[in-house]
């Protein structure tokens, strides 16, 4: 039985007074990996922001990891975000502290108190992204790809029901993009649900998966062509 984690029906997204995407019908189930594509300015980030409560849904219906986006209150947003893992193009690690401290900071801010449990959780997520031995380093001592892996580890800390990755390879060279993509593929294989906005078509071809496109103020599924023999 599919378990829905995200459902939008007849949803319309605005930036201020201007409509960005209209009449969106979209669903994701547990375990899915879905790409969100579209050219610059087509609304990918606005779509993502609506999902994590940075833009409020004013028209239509939306349900995400147990929250109703149409009636979401300011006070619900931190709780919604605890059930989501969010990964950005620019990593957003705190530069003044080590990887371990970055991860500990998030755990403490989300209610973790037990020192041993915190240490263990940090080790587990670093292991998942192949960075187990790098926890003592500061972000500036890591390459872009390594910093993004730490950002993915951070997104995994509270065992999210859905990971939203907005252009996670946007700042990385092609080879490093593939390495980060391998990490995302691996965690998806292990059961994590991922929505990834990208305009890196090389990744789409190398790792085909369900793809939806923002274009002309609409969101629709596109079928990837299989390579001609």
DSSP string, 32-80: -EEEEE--TTSSHHHHHHHHTTSS---EEEEEETTEEGGG--GGGHHHH
Instruction: Give me the least distance between CB of 63 and ligand ATP, in Å please.
Output: 21
Q: Which residue of 41, 66, 95, 174 would you call a contact of ligand ATP, by CB under 6 A?
A: 41
Among 1, 16, 140, 226, binds ligand ATP (CB under 6 A): 16
Taking CB under 6 A as the binding criterion, the range among 34-42, 104-112, 155-163, 205-213 that sits at the site for ligand ATP is: 34-42
Nearer to ligand ATP, 69 or 214 (CB): 214
Helix (H/G/I), strand (E/B), else coil: 25:
strand
Q: Rule CB under 6 A: which of 209-228 touch ligand ATP?
A: 214
Which residues fall within 8 angstroms of residue 68, CB to CB, at 6 or more apart?
Answer: 61, 62
Q: How many helices (H) and strands (E) does the chain have?
A: 7, 10
Q: Quick one: DSSP state of residue 141?
A: G
Strands 194-197 and 162-166, how do they pair? parallel
**Of the listed pieces 15-23, 61-69, 94-102, 122-130, which binds ligand ATP according to CB under 6 A?**
15-23
Q: Which of 13-21, 62-70, 143-151, 175-183 is the region at the interface with ligand ATP (rule: CB under 6 A)?
A: 13-21
Binding site for ligand ATP (CB under 6 A): 15-16, 20, 38, 40-46, 214
């Amino acid at each position: 039985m599919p378990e829905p984690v995200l459902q939008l029906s007849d949803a319309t997204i605005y930036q201020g007074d201007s409509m960005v995407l209209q009449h969106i019908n979209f669903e994701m189930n547990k375990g899915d990996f879905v790409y969100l594509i579209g050219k610059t300015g087509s609304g990918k980030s606005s779509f993502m922001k609506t999902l994590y409560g940075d833009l409020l849904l004013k028209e239509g219906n939306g349900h995400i990891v147990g929250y109703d986006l149409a009636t979401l209150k300011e006070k619900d947003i931190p709780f919604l975000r605890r059930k989501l893992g969010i990964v950005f193009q620019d990593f957003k690690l705190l530069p003044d502290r080590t990887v371990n401290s970055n991860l500990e900071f998030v755990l403490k801010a989300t209610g973790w108190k037990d020192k041993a449990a915190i240490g263990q959780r940090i080790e587990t997520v670093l292991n998942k992204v192949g960075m187990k031995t790098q926890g003592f380093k500061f972000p500036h001592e890591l390459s872009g790809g390594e910093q993004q892996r730490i950002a993915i580890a951070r997104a995994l800390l509270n065992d999210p029901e859905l990971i939203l990755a907005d252009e996670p390879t946007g700042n990385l060279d092609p080879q490093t993009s593939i390495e980060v993509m391998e990490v995302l593929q691996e965690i998806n294989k292990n059961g994590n649900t991922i929505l990834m906005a990208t305009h890196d078509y090389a990744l789409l071809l190398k790792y085909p998966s369900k793809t939806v496109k923002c274009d002309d103020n609409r969101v629709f599924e596109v079928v990837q062509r299989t390579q001609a023999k």
